[in-house]
Amino acid sequence: MNIELSGKLIQKLDIVSGDGKNGKWEKQEFVIETDDQYPKKICMNVWGDKLPMLASLVIGDQLTASVNIESREYNGRWYTDIKAWRIQRGAETGTSPSAELPSLPPDDLGLPDDDLPF
């Protein structure tokens, strides 16, 4: 599932790191404010090799983030994590190719929807 969230970058938090069972990890959280009639503030994060995507953005930049949302239970409480895997500078409708930041390969390989490659 591909979910995109657009808004204005209003805060970048400090990079947090630690050691886990799979080795060292780093993440950075950031907050956007949507451009809806009733704007919402949404906190998301980037992990590991995705940190450089956030480094070049400054407070006030308009951006669109492609995210994965996942919830997990711990001791009877639920926690939701919003991980950005692609960030594009500019609003969804006003993005120019030169403003695009590094991202994952596109899902669209140019094949018709009903013509699977296998």
> 38 is written with which tokens?
């009733």
Q: How many domains does the chain have?
A: 1
Least Cα distance to 87 among 74, 70, 75, 100 occurs for 100
Q: Is residue 102 part of a domain?
A: no
DSSP, res 103: -
Least Cα distance to 11 among 54, 47, 52, 50 occurs for 54
Q: Which residue has the higher pLDDT, 39 or 95?
A: 39
Confidence of residue 118 (pLDDT cuts 50, 70, 90): very low
CB 81 within 8 A of CB 94: no
Instruction: Tell me what pLDDT residue 91 has.
Output: 61
**Of all helices (H) and strands (E), which one includes residue 51?**
helix 51-55
Q: Is residue 115 part of a domain?
A: no
Question: Above 90 in pLDDT, residue 94?
Answer: no
> What pTM did the predictor assign?
0.71
CATH number at residue 77: 2.40.50.140
| Domain extent at residue 65 | 3-93
Least Cα distance to 84 among 33, 20, 19, 29 occurs for 29
Q: Is residue 41 part of a domain?
A: yes
Q: Is residue 71 part of a domain?
A: yes
